[in-house]
């Protein structure tokens, strides 16, 4: 199938030059770079989307490195320093084992294609996708206001623009149905991310969920998540979202402390936030998950533990504990520099937040579903996050969205107006596409297990073909540093190791793949 048959369009040199702006689509969180939204008209100012946490701050990457870093820390992003850069300091307090903390998804990436070659290949991939488990990501890049800590670039809502954008995304979804392909799927997970998707009217979102049901075969136990903020959730809108087919809510609370919230640009006070959350939870219609940030300016460990106690008390189904990242050039960094707000926690302090939170949630018998995600009961499944991190097949729709097809990563530019223009012409497809490295199975194996806090070494050596001596220098060092322990055939991460989980995972991915020189 050709790019012409799919209605795809080439990417010009000017567009290709904006490669660094394209990022992997993932749920919005302060712990990871997200789709950076650029465009004309009224929008928030742009903030670097990639960064390495350094002493609680973020060090901006060069433009030539930004896309690679936002997708996964590769040898280019980390520098050709050999295995030694992954060795931890021994005998130091938690949070000081490494100089830098990686805060985005671990992994490596292949060569990037753009223009007609990328579109032609995308057409072939779609045509050959066939039946099999699938994920969907829809990016809705609109925010009512910009929070001080936010590293994302979002557009303020405009009813007319939002309606046009939703129509374009719907057309992109329905375009697949015009290709004569059998319904793709089964779709296991659908994620509406942003931005703040809950600012969009339920009737508009229902046009997208309807298009999904028309175009794809949904698994009987599919998860459809709507990301957003608590203040949008009036009883009427909640009913509309549920009728549209959403069966999971992921909400950015960040802190229940009114003073901390307002210092960061979150306008709702504690009581109002709790009242709306409680009403949603008591409806019992869908799992409710929130994000909480630790290391915020003016926040003590006791404050964060109080947030966790509140989350447990009101009966939430799940929560994420994210560390604060201060992006270079961002509003929070500027406010700290100008002494308008207290300095956020340093890395060693963030490690204390993380470890104390893990111990507290363990004492409450919350289950760990990943390095940062917890479930109170079996209702919360958290399908999308590990799906994306393991780079399973996931089709992405909307400006700034990214996905995966059979080991290939796809990216769309975050320019909303450019997206609308090409959609109006009936032209759809990624602006950039990266090729597989041939190590996708190994990467998924390592990332999938490390997110759960362990690694089956026997299977790594016997099934994945990795030689034990390839990683022994690292694992011996990490054991001495108190980051891991051995339990039979498994390597298990301690709480300190989980805090540095992305560092350890990236080290294993690169070292096990044979991509790094010896120290």
* pLDDT range class, residue 347, cuts 50, 70, 90: very high
| Residue-wise pLDDT tens digits, 227-266 | 999 999 999 999 999 999 999 999 999 999 999 888 887 7
Overall average pLDDT of the 103-112 stretch? 82
HSE-CB at 325 with a 13 A cutoff on CA atoms is: 30
Q: Are 491 and 457 in contact (CB under 8 A)?
A: yes
Of 239, 259, 258, 241, the closest CA to residue 250 belongs to: 241
* pLDDT range class, residue 103, cuts 50, 70, 90: confident
Overall average pLDDT of the 419-445 stretch? 93
Sign of CA pseudo-dihedral 55, 60, 61, 66: positive
Q: How high is the pLDDT of residue 155?
A: 62
| Residue-wise pLDDT tens digits, 224-234 | 999 999 999 99
Can you tell me the distance from the alpha carbon of 342 to that of 335, in angstroms, rounded to the nearest whole number?
Answer: 9
Cis upstream peptide for 30 (omega within 30°) = no
Question: Kind and range of the H or E element at 112?
Answer: strand 112-114
Q: Are 497 and 483 in contact (CB under 8 A)?
A: yes
| Residue-wise pLDDT tens digits, 281-340 | 999 999 999 999 999 999 999 999 999 999 999 999 999 999 998 878 888 888 889 998
HSE-CB at 290 with a 13 A cutoff on CA atoms is: 25
Percent of the chain exceeding pLDDT 90 equals 67
User: Is residue 499 scored above 70 in pLDDT?
Assistant: yes
Q: How high is the pLDDT of residue 154?
A: 60
| Residue-wise pLDDT tens digits, 140-164 | 999 887 676 665 556 677 899 999 9
Q: How high is the pLDDT of residue 108?
A: 80
Domains of the chain: 440-512 (1.10.10)
């Amino acid at each position: 199938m050709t790019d012409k048959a799919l209605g795809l369009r080439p990417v010009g040199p000017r567009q290709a030059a904006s490669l660094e702006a394209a990022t992997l689509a993932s749920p919005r969180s302060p712990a990871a770079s997200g789709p950076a939204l650029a465009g004309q008209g009224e929008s928030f100012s742009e903030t670097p989307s990639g960064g390495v946490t350094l002493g609680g701050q973020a060090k901006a990457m060069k433009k030539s490195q930004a896309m690679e870093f936002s997708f996964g820390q590769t040898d280019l992003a980390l520098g050709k320093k050999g295995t030694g850069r992954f060795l931890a300091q021994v005998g130091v307090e938690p949070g000081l084992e490494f100089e830098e903390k990686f805060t985005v998804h671990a992994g490596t990436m292949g060569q990037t294609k753009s223009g007609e070659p990328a579109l032609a290949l995308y057409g072939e991939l779609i045509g050959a996708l066939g039946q099999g488990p699938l994920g969907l990501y829809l990016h809705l890049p609109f925010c009512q206001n910009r929070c001080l800590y936010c590293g994302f670039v979002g557009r303020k809502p405009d009813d007319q623009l939002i309606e046009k954008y939703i129509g374009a995304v719907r057309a992109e979804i329905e375009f697949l149905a015009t290709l004569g392909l059998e319904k793709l799927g089964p779709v296991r997970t659908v994620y509406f991310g942003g931005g703040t998707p809950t600012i969009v009217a339920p009737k508009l979102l229902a046009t997208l969920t309807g298009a999904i049901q028309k175009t794809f075969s949904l698994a009987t136990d599919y998860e459809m998540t709507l990301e957003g903020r608590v203040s949008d959730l009036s009883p009427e809108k909640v009913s509309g979202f549920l009728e549209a087919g959403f069966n999971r809510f992921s909400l950015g609370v960040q802190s229940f402390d009114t003073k901390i919230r307002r210092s960061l640009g979150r306008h709702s006070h504690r009581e109002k936030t709790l009242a709306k959350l409680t009403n949603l939870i008591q409806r019992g219609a869908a799992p409710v998950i929130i994000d909480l940030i630790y290391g915020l300016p003016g926040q003590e460990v006791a404050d964060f533990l109080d947030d966790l106690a509140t989350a447990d008390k009101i009966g939430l189904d799940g929560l994420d504990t994210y560390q604060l990242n201060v992006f270079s050039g961002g509003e929070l960094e500027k406010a700290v520099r100008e002494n308008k707000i207290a300095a956020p926690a340093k890395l060693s302090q963030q490690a204390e937040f993380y470890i104390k939170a893990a111990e507290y949630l363990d004492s409450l018998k919350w289950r760990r579903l990943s390095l940062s995600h917890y479930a109170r009961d079996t209702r919360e499944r958290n399908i999308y996050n590990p799906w994306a991190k393991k780079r399973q097949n996931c089709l992405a729709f909307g400006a700034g969205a990214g996905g995966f097809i059979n080991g290939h990563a796809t990216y769309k530019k975050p320019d909303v107006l450019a997206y609308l223009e090409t959609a109006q012409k009936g032209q759809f497809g990624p602006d950039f596409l990266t090729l597989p490295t041939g190590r996708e199975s190994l990467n998924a194996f390592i990332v999938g297990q490390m997110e759960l806090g362990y690694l089956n070494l026997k299977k790594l050596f016997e099934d994945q073909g990795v030689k034990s001596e390839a990683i022994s220098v690292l694992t011996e060092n990490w054991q001495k540093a108190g980051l891991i322990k051995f339990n039979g055939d498994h390597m298990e991460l301690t709480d300190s190791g989980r805090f540095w989980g992305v560092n350890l995972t990236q080290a294993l991915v690169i070292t096990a793949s044979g991509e790094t020189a010896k120290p």
